Structure 1
Amino acid sequence: MEFRNIVFVVTEECSCPLYNVGEEFSVQNSALSVERDKPVCLLMVRELLKALSSTKPMEQRISLQPQSKAKFECGGCTGLIRFEHKKDRPYSTLQMNLLKAAEQRAKQQIIAQFFGILRDMELFEPLSDFDLQDLAMMMKMKGYPPNKIIIEEGERGTNFYVVLSGKVAVVRKDSEIIAEIEPGGIFGEMSLLSGELTYPSVYSRTACQLATLNSKDFKHVLSKYPILQIFFYRVLVNRAQENTLRQGKISSGMSGDLTEINPVDLFQMINSGGKTGRVSFELEGGEVGEALFNEGEVVSCAFGVLTDKDAFFAILVQQKGRFTYTKGLTAEEKRLPVLGGFMGLVMEGLQRIDEQQEIGDE
């Protein structure tokens, strides 16, 4: 039996791994097609074939109850969806098609406005313009007024967000702002990737425009573009390291950003932990530096042409750049004399900073 131009729409969904409410799929010339190149669920195909192979033709079954729609259900896996036949009337189909086309054009205009932001993001760098436009069409645009909760701590993650305009803040329970996210930044991915509850809360600091992907579409995108999985793997590692740093811990191979932790706090963690190793710095403007610790005490330091204490004091004031901690020193480095008592060095360095600020104010 051949079926022509039969369209279905998902009306209910509970933990379905593939489809969302409102998505459509159609049977045309006995072939099933779904939206946005999503995979076709074979279990759903089986349920459709059962429905379409009934003893009464589809058209007759629908016409028996003109006030209701033919309803079907697929619950063959871990989830459940219910879908209905979308009855097409000539006078309404044109109106709906025009409305859908208008919505599509409006969305394309919004995407065109913010496409440059998406194109410049490191996350989407591996994608071609065509693939990025296709991905952007899957996103929903949401606007938020200032001081609106977007993600509340302790909830199950449901969406991945990209900031297109405005600014959002990441906030702990004690109301401390951990970070601010500006256009081109992302959030919400940690809960989707790890399956853990959301932490911490996120709210809009200003009026903002966000592009979102729900959890199923997010997983579909990762499956369709495996190269993006590498980026999110790095994000997971970096966030885990940031959380470890906030807990006052440091381990070999750990790296981070000086906007997240300043050199004074970083050095204090190494000193209090009695660590032996080196901290390498890549600072704004291309400058590099290095500090060597033996059992928590500073034994050598370099920054540009500066060495020892002068280099240590210069590194203390750095606010932008990245660091990497590596465990262990060579036997020769372990024999280097201590530059001075750690707390004494820090206090002298902070005093120099205050003096320089006073000179600058004058």
Structure 2
Amino acid sequence: MASPAASSVITALPETTDPLKIYTTIASLRSYRHPLLSTKSLGFVPTMGALHAGHLSLIRTAAKENDSVAVSIFVNPAQFAPTEDLAVYPRTLHTDVALLESLNAEFSADSTTRGRIEALFLPSVAEMYPHGIPLEENAQRGAFVTVQPLAAKLEGITRPHFFRGVATVVAKLFNIVQPDIAYFGQKDVQQSIILKRMVKDLHFPVQIRVCPTGREVDGLAMSSRNVYLGERRRAIAPVLYQALRASEDEYRRLAAQGGTVDAKAVLAKGLELLQPGKDVPFEIEYFSLADLQELEELGTVDPKKGAVLSAAVRMSPVEEGQGPVRLIDNIILEAEE
């Protein structure tokens, strides 16, 4: 990530008449937040930067529902394993700041929007992890948050370090920013379930708001990592969502017959579509139908309780210079009333 200025409050794009305020230290961010605790509601959108339309949609929702909005950009080392893509994770700070400035101009012109972005938090790794944060988990020192057994399922099977890092950094951010509502996208559904459990168990006075997944016109879930796909893999990538939709359709068909629904039949319909090709090979890491609270795999689905369809694939490199790319996606099967 591009290095922020050394001062605790810096101004981005000084040519604008109403610049975005950027805070790089915890103390400076708290000095902004404390006077507002009893007078203004604060919506918070934590990100790792490389902002796309999905992020902007979250910020727009936060601005409509709150008096003010805070956004953070922090590429969190604790959720990367030593073999993962921390060093090359997309960092587009100047573009990100310009997008946030444009959003504030949009909010000023829209009478239906309550708030605007009043703070962009850009902490350093040293600020967030005073004891350092080596990627090897057994070498890490300090306080960390784990949410078990949720963190060991689905994504946690192939990335056992991941949700420990996510829960830890979000707990830190909630403690620093003290938002009333925090906004997350449904694409990371397991993350949302884990963070809701963390907030409940640790008594954070924060509401978690999960917003619909931002999608490209062909259905691919928006992700900062999509830039890694390249043309050939990008053309194939929407098959993941298509497979989930096929399983959803089968679930609806079976549920309409009454009674519980066989999970194996639902998953089989999607897996018919999710077949790796020779030109663009990929590995299915999981294709899951689980309950919405504990993420336990289901044998049958009670339509009165609902469930979550989720999947992950790892797409292999197909051109020189590429690395593998993981895609995740999900569809919530809402409980019938």
Structure label with greater radius of gyration: 1
TM-score normalised by the chain length of structure 2:
0.23
Of Structure 1 and Structure 2, the greater strand share is in: 1
TM-score normalised by the chain length of structure 1:
0.22
Higher relative contact order (CA 8 A, sep 6+): 2
